[in-house]
Amino acid sequence: GHQSIGQAFGGKIVHARQIMHGKTSNIYHTGTGIFKGIPNPFEATRYHSLVIERVPDCLEITAWTQTPNGDMEEIMGVQHKTLAVIGVQFHPESILTQQGHALLKNFLDL
């Protein structure tokens, strides 16, 4: 869904730097929307080999991974600026994702 949202609104989908199947990463975020009250960063499970590389103006980046020097590495969450459209690259439903239940509750509360 996340990659489809990026593609549908004019973003660019590319191969990830590293295939992430069943691996966890620290996810950094804006602290708004589904990330309200979620520790920053938190650990989440990833299962993907593609990522959104470029987002169109209508989408804002809400979550990302970081390089060791603190730069944004890969986009992990987007939200449309005017429509009720939200996507995450990681899997909040995975048992390995910390804060998964809280993320899903926040989504349902939107």
For the record, the structure tokens of 55 come out as: 């987002």
3-class SS at 98? coil
pLDDT value of position 19: 87
Per-residue pLDDT of 45-103, as tens digits, reads 999 999 999 899 999 999 999 999 999 999 999 999 999 999 999 999 999 898 999 99
- The residues pairing with 32 across neighbouring beta strands, listed in sequence order, are none
Assign residue 86 the CATH number of its domain. 3.40.50.880
Of 38, 49, 53, 54, the residue nearest 92 (C-alpha): 38
Domain that holds residue 80: 2-109
User: If you count them, how many residues does the chain have?
Assistant: 110
In the chain, the number of structural domains is 1
Per-residue pLDDT of 15-42, as tens digits, reads 998 888 889 999 999 999 999 999 999 9
CA distance 22 to 37: 25
For the record, the structure tokens of 47 come out as: 């299962």
Q: What is the pTM of this model?
A: 0.93
- Name the burial class of residue 35, with classes exposed (0-12), middle (13-18) and buried (19+) by CB atoms within 10 angstroms of its CB: buried
